[in-house]
Amino acid sequence: MLSAPNESEIIGDRVANPIPGQPDVTHGAILYLEDVTLSFDGFKALNKLNLTLDDGELRCIIGPNGAGKSTMMDVITGRRKPDSGQVFFGQNIELLKLAEHDIANGMVGRKFQRPTVFEALTVAENIELTLLGKRAPWQVLKARSTPAEQTRIDEVLTTIGLIGLRHQLAGILSHGQKQWLEIGMLLAQNPRILLVDEPVAGMTGEEMARTAELLVSLAGERTVVVVEHDMAFVRKIARTVTVLHQGSVLAEGSLGSVQSNPKVIEVYLGETPCSH
C-alpha cells in the first residue's frame, strides 16, 4: 500500500524518510556540531568544537569557567553565529541557516540560570502564555485557550509537579518551584532539545532531588542537556558527561571515566571536578 503524502516510512523504530521540516534521526543523533569556531576579538571561545547529541539522551556538560559552555549554547539556540563550522539538527536541517525564534519554536528550548516567570500571573497562566505564543502577560488575559490547550496545560503542570498550585500566583512560589515553572513554560513549546543552565543553583537539597527526577523523566521523549558546576547534582543524573575546555571537548564518557581522566584532573587544577 502506498503511504500517504508526507508520511514517514518507518523501518523498525527509525524514520527512513523524515517528514519535511522534521529532523532525520536515522543515525540516532539529534544534534551535530562540526568544527565550530567562534572568536571574540581573536580569542577563540569555541575552537573547532565537535559534539554529537543522541536523540533522547540526557547529557551533562561540565567545564571550568570560560570553557565555552554558554557560547556553545548561544550557537545551538541561534543567538550567535560561529565564524566557521556546521551545526545540524538531525542529519538534514542546517541550524545555522535558521533564525533564533525559529529554533526556539519546537527545536531547542533554553532555560537560563535565573528563573524568569511572570510573577503577577498564576502558575497555569504562565504556561498558557507560552503555549499560546503570547509575549506579554496582558495578552493571556484576553486570549482564550481551547479545551485541547487546557489539557496540554494540565499535562505540563502534572509533569513539573505544580498541578496543585495552578491557581497560585507565580510570585509566591519558592525559588525551586519557579525554576520548575520555567521548565514547564519551555515544555509548552515542545522543544526536541532542552538546554538547562545551572538548574540547581540556590536550591534546597529536596528541590535539587526533585529537579534531578524531573530532568531524568524528561529525557527519552526529548534530549536534555544540563550545564552544571555542581558535581553532587551531576552525580545524581549523569549518563554521558562531556568536559569542555578552551572551546573544545577535552573528555567524554561516564562520570567516573572523565573524573579519572588525567587531562581533566589537570584542568581542574589537580583535583577532580568539584562544585565552584
- State the residues that interact with ligand ATP by CB under 6 A: 40, 45, 63, 65-71
Lookup: cell for 218: 524528561
209-231 b/e (C-beta count within 10 Å ≥ 16 → b): ebbbebbeebbeebbbbbbbbbb
Of 57 and 198, the one with the shorter C-beta distance to ligand ATP is: 198
Minimum Å gap between C-beta 103 and ligand ATP is: 18
Lookup: cell for 59: 547529557
Of 67 and 153, the one with the shorter C-beta distance to ligand ATP is: 67
Of 36 and 124, the one with the shorter C-beta distance to ligand ATP is: 36
The CA radius of gyration of the chain, in Å to the nearest whole number, is: 19
Of 80 and 134, the one with the shorter C-beta distance to ligand ATP is: 80
Is 59:53 a contact under the CB 8 Å cutoff? yes
36 has which bridge partners?
A: 49
Minimum Å gap between C-beta 15 and ligand ATP is: 33
DSSP 164: G
Minimum Å gap between C-beta 190 and ligand ATP is: 26
53: closest CA among 250, 214, 242, 268? Answer: 242
Minimum Å gap between C-beta 75 and ligand ATP is: 10
Of 53 and 62, the one with the shorter C-beta distance to ligand ATP is: 62
Q: What is the torsional sign of CA 89, 99, 224, 201?
A: positive
Of 56 and 66, the one with the shorter C-beta distance to ligand ATP is: 66
Minimum Å gap between C-beta 170 and ligand ATP is: 26
Of 84 and 150, the one with the shorter C-beta distance to ligand ATP is: 84
Instruction: Give alpha helix (H) positions in the chain.
Output: 69-76, 100-104, 123-131, 137-142, 147-159, 175-187, 205-218, 231-237, 255-259, 262-267
Minimum Å gap between C-beta 41 and ligand ATP is: 6
DSSP 163: G
Minimum Å gap between C-beta 34 and ligand ATP is: 19
23: closest CA among 69, 105, 88, 97? Answer: 88
